[in-house]
Structure 1
Amino acid sequence: MRSALNCWKINRDQPHDVFEFCNDLEYDKRGGKMMESRNINLERTALIKGDLKFTNFGQLIKSTLFRKLIKTFIDELTVKKSYLLKTLEPFQNEEGEFKEGAFIDFIYLLNINSLEEIICSGYFDIQFTYEEYSQLFLGFLEGIYNYWRSIQRFMIKTDVYSADENTKRSKAYSLASNNDAFKKMVLDLYRNIHFNVTGKSVSIYRQLPSGAQVAFLTDNFEFDREVKSKNDSLYKVPYVWEAIFEPPVIFYTQSSKRDGVFPVKDKRILQKFYLDSDEWFAIPVKVGRLLSIVYVQKEYLALGAGLFNLFEMATPEEFTKQKPDAVVFFGLDKSLFEEDEMLGFVTKEEDVYYGLIPDSAGIDYFGYMKKIMLTLHNIIQIEKKAMPVHGAFAKIRVGGKKSANIMLIGDSGAGKSETLEAINKLPKSLACDFDILIDDMGSLHFNKEGELMAVGTEIGAFVRLDDLQPGYAYSTMDRSIFMNPNIVNARVIVPQMSYEEISKSTRVDFVFYINNYEEISESTPPIELFADLDKAYSVFSEGKRMAKGTTGEVGITTTYFANPFGAVQLKEEHEKIAKNTFKKMTEVGVGVGMIRTQLGIPGYEQSGPFDAAQALIQFIDELNKLD
């Protein structure tokens, strides 16, 4: 036994750099110094190189990632003053310093030998009985295994993009296969060590998600000269052209709500920063009909991954030949931002709108990623003389008869999505169903025939778990991304519509303001149509709601047109468009009214949207009877 141990000690290789690990201390390449990245108790991000097929345990145990995983887990145990630190006592020198190499040796041997044999060999100075140390190490094993699974894990493979569909499928299958092999290797390592510590196999095998949660295929592309900006570093970072998800995908972020608005600044900033190709990823998407490029610092890849469930991916044929309408940088150095820009800001340079977000724990929330993109979209729509709307739009059918296209306008937490989803809970005898065409943001314009038309932005929805009907989110678990599911304002990002549906112009029949703060009574019915244009405009422009904790606001609040994403920043320009739109709506016969969801009133979180949905279906049914 001793000779086998010595043989391993002498012949072990240097660590394989097959991983990157964003831990508590990392080198700041921008400033050339060590910097504190995040509080030690917060999740990190692990990047796994996807071009490697995992075939032996040494690839894991001798990796840079494994060493850093042990270090950060021990750091956490130290902060918590955990009893599990006793596990490390045999691997400390006379000064009490942890001997990492010896511990790595021990783990490697424990994968192939029993703990009892290793203790008896005397190779390590384990001053515990087998019974004592086996129980101690089991606690450590379970702790580090659960810690690993709590980390945001991404597999990245650089592979040459091909427009050929069969070639693309083959490359995606190869990456998925590598992730499967990695996941199996992690599970087998855990089970081998567990068996060698206890001497017993488990009775129930749980195939826990232990590999990468999301895998990306990336490449470096050549861009046409006329589409490039003056910052050349933007074209040296890897661009994601394919994504593979391993459900259920659950991410925990450092913040769970959004605050403030993004100010619009007149400043030139493009040449004030450099994107390190080892630190940043580019994600090209289509926000409605607009082309957007999102550059994400690797610490925020969980937010970047959410984009694939919310927006249509742009193809290399599109983003290398077409100048983007909007560009987002998420995770830039704080020194680039002024005091009033610490939640992000918007500027225009070289005829392109840019949204910039600083590297800060406070903005580690998908709402910031989504809303900076939609703010850019809305500002561009205002520039085009279209009216951006913060709302949901659906084609609703009742009894198999004529459908009605309903636009619901309201701020976050008003009950737009919740009212539509409540239609699914209505009795089947009503024979009602709907297609969502806009979930959160879109724009209104009039076609040549004078009809009011709507165009959407997103193919998915970013909704509160608490406000969905029970079990709905879990019925879509195999395609959803869950964000902070165990805390207030837990969210799920779920794909819902096709890009073809949301990007085409669709006629609008009714526009309703969503009122979540008034209780239904004889004087305040669930649905009310406005006969007076001025009253209607006043209600919509005031943007009143009861804040639901989805932002930093509390109680009754007002936001101009319930839209802090562009309308507030460009209020003067927006007001001209909005007044003209409302005037034309009344002229062409578009119904304008209010729906009371009661969502902001305690006790009505489920019944309020249900009652609103029931009233809406009855309203549409009455319209059918009049035809």
Structure 2
Amino acid sequence: MERKVARLNFNHDYPTSVISLLSSPDVCELVAAFLKEDKRLAMAGSLESLPAKEYLAVFAKVMIDDPTAYDQFSKEEILASLERFYSFYRSLLRVSVIKADNNHILGQEFKQIDRRFNELVLQCYRMLEEKLQGFGNRTFREVSAGTNASLLVRHHVWAAPERYQALNQFDFIDKVMLRPPLLMHTISNKRKGLFTAVDYNPIDHFNGKAGEWYCYPAKIGETLAFIYFQLDYLVNGLALANLFELAPKEDVIGHKPDVILLFGVPETEGMVSHYHHDDENGIWVGEVPYTDDTTYFGYMKKMCLTLHNLHQINHGLLPIHGSMVKIRFKNGKQKTVVFFGDSGAGKSESIEALQEVADDQIIAVDTIFDDMGSFKVTADGKVVAQGTETGAFVRLDDLSSSVAFNNMDRGVFLNPERKNARVIIPAAPFAEVVAQHDIDMWLYANNYDDGVGVHYFEAEAAAKEVFIAGKRKALGTTDEVGMTTTFFANPFGPVQEEAKTRPVIDKVFAALFKQGVPVGEIYTHLGNDKSPEALHASARALLKDLMEQ
């Protein structure tokens, strides 16, 4: 109840009629939770003062038009209590789970099973409502009355080394159905601190119980990640579906992942998040503790990206904390631009400002990656870029209303009523994300200086100095405040492995300057002046440069 999460196990209980719904043991359990939560309102002799079974029996009598339903309570009292329980139920994150054994549930069938349950809940509520109010409804609201989402899970056997055999007891998520716009809430809404290395493998003290954990097999770029999360973190698990490509079973069965994350471990060293490199098996393993703080989705997203980035650095690729877009202009030109910087520097805001000042000069802006990508130097000395995420994890606070509402119907919204509210929206197809993209310009998002426009570096050393320093004025999206510096503006991999990252940085910068790719900084002003005028002036200067190059 503290996490406001409800799992509906349709393999265990699946009502098919309003009477079976009202007599369901699971519904009785929900009513008991409601009555406990609502005990402040339960005056002696009120409907809420009854035990759960007796409470439900009143509604069952209403449903079959038994007049004894009103012996103790009036229709108005029963209707008011019905509305309170209905609101309580819909305040929970409700996720149905169907386990497919022996392939008896295939394709789209799991969605139809869930849809029928939603229709049943809505039918039951409306029948009770109309009987109690004494007339038929004239306005109908087709809300997600039963569930917010549904998961089809399967048991897959992957190539688990001996020390990882305990993970074979958990089901993999095979398909996900979301009912957007999906509004979800977590206790925490901000990330704190860095992820650090430990000399022990988290798998060695992992003791998760069967039925309490699921695995979301993700393609983070071309990295295969098995993301195991404890049941109470269903908010995070569902949000993954709008952010990372769900790996098909062909990539899971008989394969070994590059990355394993254990999210929601009862105890970790210092009760903070850690990672470990299992050299023997070639697996990066992360652990995140079960705390109120780690309910914030940023912990799951950033730990996944940290593990991915460490894997990339080990393979000679350079993780880029930034956004890459492909801009198509009305004059026929096409440019790919990478905006680089730490959280709150103004990467997303610069892209949005560019679109706002362009009028009809820009036909489209396609996102290649929104938060993290990788630069690779090819055998012929050319630098190309790849992404990691198929979705975008965007701060609602800084989005214009037009951008937010245009994506509302597909979004997963996290704590929309709070500061640092976020939305996760689909951004690019997986094939586009993992393709190798040319780079036409690379810009550092400078939110602390007073300049306007874009400054380009003539010397490689001067550019590296700015990018490596990673300066920004923190805006409170993490636990940092004021002027900060972060090695290479990326606390998710490069900070942890600076010695391994520096030679890769040198190689990439040398190749870019040899190619003649413009490397510079755009002044976003977000650290000092949040009004749009200065940022729009910088965006106009960038637009002019891109159209003239």
Q: Which amino acid aligns with 2:542?
A: L
Alignment match of 1:263 (pick from 196, 200, 209): 196
Deviations 1:157-206 (CA, angstroms, capped at 9, x unpaired): 111476xxxx9xx8343222221211112112222222232223332111
Mapped pair 1:372 → 2:324 = no
Q: 2:546: which partner in 1?
A: 620
Normalised by the length of structure 2, the TM-score is 0.94
Mapping of residues 322-361 of structure 1, within 5 Å: 322-334=255-267, 337-339=268-270, 342-349=271-278, 350-361=281-292
**Superposed displacement of residue 90, structure 1:** 5.7
Deviations 1:342-394 (CA, angstroms, capped at 9, x unpaired): 33110122320011111111100111111001000111111112211101112
**Superposed displacement of residue 559, structure 1:** 1.4
Alignment match of 2:320 (pick from 372, 389, 395): 389
- Unmatched tracts of structure 2, length 5 or more: none
Q: 1:518: which partner in 2?
A: 449
Q: Which amino acid aligns with 1:456?
A: G
2 CA distance for matches of 1:90 and 1:319? Answer: 51
Q: 1:542: which partner in 2?
A: 469
**Superposed displacement of residue 424, structure 1:** 3.4
**Superposed displacement of residue 50, structure 1:** 6.0
Q: Which amino acid aligns with 2:180?
A: P
| Native 8 Å contact 2:522 2:538 kept in 1 | yes
Q: 1:246: which partner in 2?
A: 179
Q: Which amino acid aligns with 2:449?
A: E
Mapped pair 1:73 → 2:34 = yes
Mapping of residues 304-453 of structure 1, within 5 Å: 304-334=237-267, 337-339=268-270, 342-349=271-278, 350-453=281-384
Mapping of residues 441-480 of structure 1, within 5 Å: 441-480=372-411
Normalised by the length of structure 1, the TM-score is 0.83
2 CA distance for matches of 1:146 and 1:213? Answer: 14
CA RMSD in angstroms, aligned pairs only: 2.2
Q: 1:102: which partner in 2?
A: 54
Give the 3-state SS of the residue equivalent to 1:331 in structure 2.
strand
| Native 8 Å contact 1:286 1:313 kept in 2 | yes
Stretch of structure 1 that moved more, 344-353 or 286-295: 344-353
Runs of 4 or more consecutive aligned structure 1 residues displaced over 6 Å after TM superposition: none
Residues 99 and 312 of structure 1: is their aligned pair in 2 closer, same or farther, counting only changes over 3 Å? closer
2 CA distance for matches of 1:491 and 1:293? Answer: 24
Q: Which amino acid aligns with 1:75?
A: K
Alignment match of 2:91 (pick from 146, 150, 161): 150
2 CA distance for matches of 1:246 and 1:87? Answer: 39
**Superposed displacement of residue 89, structure 1:** 3.4
2 CA distance for matches of 1:372 and 1:359? Answer: 14
Stretch of structure 1 that moved more, 68-77 or 566-575: 68-77
Q: Which amino acid aligns with 2:266?
A: D
2 CA distance for matches of 1:229 and 1:421? Answer: 49
In terms of Rg, which structure is larger? 1
Residues 87 and 142 of structure 1: is their aligned pair in 2 closer, same or farther, counting only changes over 3 Å? farther
Residues 451 and 231 of structure 1: is their aligned pair in 2 closer, same or farther, counting only changes over 3 Å? closer
**Superposed displacement of residue 243, structure 1:** 1.1
2 CA distance for matches of 1:456 and 1:319? Answer: 21
Give the 3-state SS of the residue equivalent to 2:492 in structure 1.
coil
**Superposed displacement of residue 304, structure 1:** 0.9
Q: 1:531: which partner in 2?
A: 458
**Superposed displacement of residue 52, structure 1:** 6.3
**Superposed displacement of residue 208, structure 1:** 1.5
2 CA distance for matches of 1:366 and 1:404? Answer: 32
Stretch of structure 1 that moved more, 370-379 or 233-242: 233-242
**Superposed displacement of residue 51, structure 1:** 8.0
Deviations 1:497-552 (CA, angstroms, capped at 9, x unpaired): 11111112212122110012334xxxx22211012333222211121222222211
Mapped pair 1:89 → 2:22 = no
Q: Which amino acid aligns with 2:469?
A: E
**Superposed displacement of residue 278, structure 1:** 0.9
Give the 3-state SS of the residue equivalent to 1:283 in structure 2.
strand
Stretch of structure 1 that moved more, 389-398 or 69-78: 69-78
Mapping of residues 46-65 of structure 1, within 5 Å: 46-49=7-10, 54-65=15-26
**Superposed displacement of residue 276, structure 1:** 1.9
Residues 109 and 172 of structure 1: is their aligned pair in 2 closer, same or farther, counting only changes over 3 Å? farther
Residues 603 and 279 of structure 1: is their aligned pair in 2 closer, same or farther, counting only changes over 3 Å? same
Give the 3-state SS of the residue equivalent to 1:389 in structure 2.
strand
Aligned-pair identity (%): 31
Q: 1:209: which partner in 2?
A: 144
Residues 473 and 203 of structure 1: is their aligned pair in 2 closer, same or farther, counting only changes over 3 Å? same
Give the 3-state SS of the residue equivalent to 2:410 in structure 1.
coil
Stretch of structure 1 that moved more, 542-551 or 396-405: 396-405
2 CA distance for matches of 1:91 and 1:603? Answer: 50
Q: Which amino acid aligns with 2:272?
A: L
Give the 3-state SS of the residue equivalent to 1:86 in structure 2.
coil
Alignment match of 2:154 (pick from 213, 219, 237): 219
Mapped pair 1:577 → 2:504 = yes
Alignment match of 1:182 (pick from 94, 114, 117): 117
Q: 1:118: which partner in 2?
A: 69
Residues 484 and 326 of structure 1: is their aligned pair in 2 closer, same or farther, counting only changes over 3 Å? same
1 CA distance for matches of 2:164 and 2:257? Answer: 14
Mapped pair 1:559 → 2:493 = no
| Native 8 Å contact 1:483 1:491 kept in 2 | yes
Give the 3-state SS of the residue equivalent to 2:452 in structure 1.
coil
1 CA distance for matches of 2:221 and 2:406? Answer: 27
**Superposed displacement of residue 471, structure 1:** 2.8
Deviations 1:256-283 (CA, angstroms, capped at 9, x unpaired): 1111110011213323223322101111
Deviations 1:575-594 (CA, angstroms, capped at 9, x unpaired): 23223322332222121110
Q: 2:79: which partner in 1?
A: 138
Residues 427 and 535 of structure 1: is their aligned pair in 2 closer, same or farther, counting only changes over 3 Å? closer
Q: 2:128: which partner in 1?
A: 193
Q: Which amino acid aligns with 1:419?
A: S
Residues 608 and 239 of structure 1: is their aligned pair in 2 closer, same or farther, counting only changes over 3 Å? farther
- Unmatched tracts of structure 1, length 5 or more: 1-22, 24-37, 93-97, 121-125
Residues 90 and 328 of structure 1: is their aligned pair in 2 closer, same or farther, counting only changes over 3 Å? closer
1 CA distance for matches of 2:240 and 2:47? Answer: 47
| Native 8 Å contact 2:153 2:171 kept in 1 | yes
2 CA distance for matches of 1:160 and 1:593? Answer: 55
2 CA distance for matches of 1:581 and 1:90? Answer: 70
**Superposed displacement of residue 101, structure 1:** 2.5
| Native 8 Å contact 2:448 2:528 kept in 1 | yes
Give the 3-state SS of the residue equivalent to 1:413 in structure 2.
coil
